[in-house]
Amino acid sequence: MSETIITQTWPTPPHAGTIRKPGPGDLNVLAAIENQCFSIDRISRSGLRRFLTRSRQDPWGVRFLAVEHGACVCGYILLLLRRNSLIARIYSIAVMPEHRRTGMARTLLAGAESVAVESGRNRIRLEVREDNAAAIRLYTSIGYQTFGRIEPYYEDRTAAIRMEKPL
Ligand SMILES: CC(C)(COP(=O)(O)OP(=O)(O)OC[C@H]1O[C@@H](n2cnc3c(N)ncnc32)[C@H](O)[C@@H]1OP(=O)(O)O)[C@@H](O)C(=O)NCCC(=O)NCCS
């Protein structure tokens, strides 16, 4: 059975969901989210399975969080916690199109930031496509700042903006 680990309680957007740790039974829905949300640089089904396994066996290396609305898993975030590093890294975040603009991503990011703080990290970083205005606006709205750029970075050679937030 799935375990609820964090309940969204802060006073922002309506129906922003509940966060829980996904299990092996969530692989299909996570793969569907990945396919719907990304056209390139997708995490393969076997990659998602590996992250799920690692998240359960070595929770301080990888943390996989899903956000639910009712009985529906509508998004996920993958957080990497390298040993001997004070910096957590968001590896991927995605929310199903029909659940966007309802605060789901903010909920996922708040959950990931809580995990990073609990694990002793003092900064959190991510890379985002330079042309992903929605995501850049999201990160900026909650305190992430640009500190670098890598070109090329993605499969189609688009540059990545590197962003960081102190925790
Ligand atoms: C980016 C993404 C995760 C945002 O998810 P979301 O659940 O819709 O985001 P939220 O509802 O929490 O949005 C929070 C804020 O982000 C910004 N934002 C999100 N989507 C936006 C859009 N399409 N246009 C402009 N601003 C947007 C807004 O500031 C928004 O606040 P507001 O709704 O009060 O104006 C989602 O669009 C997605 O899955 N995209 C495809 C995958 C992807 O690009 N992932 C990021 C990889 S770095």
CATH of the domain at 60: 3.40.630.30
Within a domain: residue 136? no
Instruction: Looking at 104-165, list the stretches that DSSP marks H as alpha helix, in order from N- to C-terminal side.
Output: 104-118, 133-141
Within a domain: residue 12? yes
> What does each C-alpha distance from 99 to 92, 115, 129, 130 come to in angstroms?
17, 23, 21, 23
C-alpha span between 42 and 130 (Å, rounded): 17
Pocket of ligand 1 (CB under 6 A): 37, 93-95, 100-106, 128, 132, 134-135, 137-138, 141
Within a domain: residue 19? yes
- pLDDT above 90 (res 12): no
What digits encode the pLDDT tens for the residues 39-95?
999 999 999 999 999 998 887 799 999 999 988 999 999 999 998 999 999 999 999
Give how many domains the chain has, as a whole number: 1
Return the pLDDT at 16: 84
Within a domain: residue 131? no
Q: Which domain holds residue 77?
A: 3-126
Mean pLDDT, the chain, as a whole number? Answer: 91
Closest residue by Cα to atom 24, ligand 1, is: 134
- Report, in this order, helix, strand and coil percent for the chain, each rounded to 5: 30, 35, 35
Within 10 angstroms of residue 55's Cβ, the number of other Cβ atoms is: 19
Within a domain: residue 154? no
Within a domain: residue 88? yes
Within a domain: residue 27? yes
